[in-house]
Copies of this chain bind each other. A is one copy, B any other.
Amino acid sequence: MKTSSVELIILDLLSQEQAHLTAQEIYQQLRSRLPAVNPSTVYRALERMAHAGKISVSDMGRGAMVYEAVGGERHHHLVCQECGAVMTIEDQPVNELFRYLEKQYHFEMITNHLILFGRCQNCQSPVQVLKAETSKE
């Protein structure tokens, strides 16, 4: 395998904490370090890296896919469709479902960064929140 300079910089960009960047954001930031880089180089590098499992690709409701470096704690997100708030959730409950599906369907899971959409507590209507509160007790 060849060590592409663009790949290295992309990985560095994505290593900034909590980075979930779109292709455009990556391209723009890359230009400050490699002013003459061509957009297609970036798109192709991202495609290659995603296929190699170095980065994950997710739709987080930002209008374009976001890329994240693979390697830290495995995690997933809940994204509010009203206000855009992003919550991070731990892997365990998701992992249990995945293991179940793997056995059930003889399927080897690759997805490792799950995004689920909904409404955060702030954006739920007061009656909904009330209902949830009372049913808890």
Contact = CB atoms under 8 A, between A and B. Distances in A.
A44 to B, nearest CB: 14
A119 B94 contact: no
Given A101-B116, A108-B119, A108-B124, 19 more contacts: A59-B65, A78-B101, A78-B105, A80-B107, A81-B110, A89-B101, A93-B101, A93-B104, A97-B97, A98-B116, A102-B118, A103-B136, A106-B129, A107-B118, A107-B120, A109-B118, A110-B119, A111-B116, A111-B117
22 contacts: A78-B101, A78-B107, A81-B110, A87-B105, A87-B107, A89-B101, A89-B104, A89-B105, A93-B97, A93-B100, A93-B104, A98-B116, A101-B116, A106-B121, A107-B119, A107-B120, A108-B118, A108-B119, A109-B116, A109-B117, A111-B118, A114-B116
